[in-house]
Amino acid sequence: MQITPTPLSGVVVITPARFGDHRGFFSESYSAKALAAQGITIPFVQDNHSLSMTPGTVRGLHFQAPPHAQDKLVRCGRGALFDVAVDIRKGSPTYGQWFGVELSFENGKQLLVPAGFAHGFVTRAPETEIIYKCSEYYARESEGAIAWDDPQIGIDWGLGETSPVLSEKDAQAPALADLDSPFTFEGV
């Protein structure tokens, strides 16, 4: 299992090993023991699985506030997506900055998005499946969102002239400047 740091403290790309032959491949997509050996000891309690039918579907940028804040470990079960984390921790040297990575069935990469970051993605292929582990259960009263297209953040979603497919909630999400973030940066 390869762990690759990103410019955002705590956000890492995880690439599990794949062992293939003429039949296909085998991959251990999650191992608490292997991650703990790399210093990642997050107790995950819930797995989520979503399907987006159309390329250009944007979901996010979402988070859950404390006491229900979630760490997420995101992977692509089928298709391809561009996955994004945005630092929303008050006082962080990277506040408002983002990191994105292509996750696909083919590359097997995963993105670890810690609590204190908003998360979102755009699908690149039809019928893309997103599978992610969460360290806390879903709590509607704690959910929050910021605008996927906030110019202050400036995420390059790679949409070109394509109009995104959005939920009503995501289309109306507030700007980062209007967010009173419930998260505080606590050092490295």
Taking only the tens place, the pLDDT of each residue in 145-183 is 999 999 999 999 999 988 999 999 999 999 999 999 999
Q: Catalytic annotation on 49?
A: no
Name residue, tokens 């561009």. 82
To the nearest 5 percent, what fractions of the chain are helix, strand and coil? 10, 40, 50
132 is catalytic: yes
What pLDDT is recorded for position 187? 77
Is the per-residue pLDDT at 87 higher than 90?
yes
Check whether 188 has a pLDDT greater than 70. Answer: no
**Catalytic member of 49, 62, 95, 138:** 62
pLDDT digits (tens, 9 = 90+) for 113-130: 999 999 999 999 999 999
Question: Considering 68, 119, 132, 138, which one is annotated as catalytic?
Answer: 132
Note the pLDDT of residue 38: 93
Closest to 13 (Cα-Cα) out of 132, 130, 99, 116: 99
Measured distance CA(175)–CA(136) in Å, rounded: 25
Mean pLDDT value across residues 129-155: 97
Q: Which position has the token pair 């050092």?
A: 187
Q: Which residues of 8-36 are buried (b: 16+ CB within 10 A; e: fewer)?
A: bbbbbbbebeeeeeeeeeeeeebeeeebe
Strand partners, 73: 112, 133
Each residue's pLDDT tens digit, 8-41? 999 999 999 889 889 988 888 999 999 999 999 9
Mean pLDDT for all residues in the chain? 96
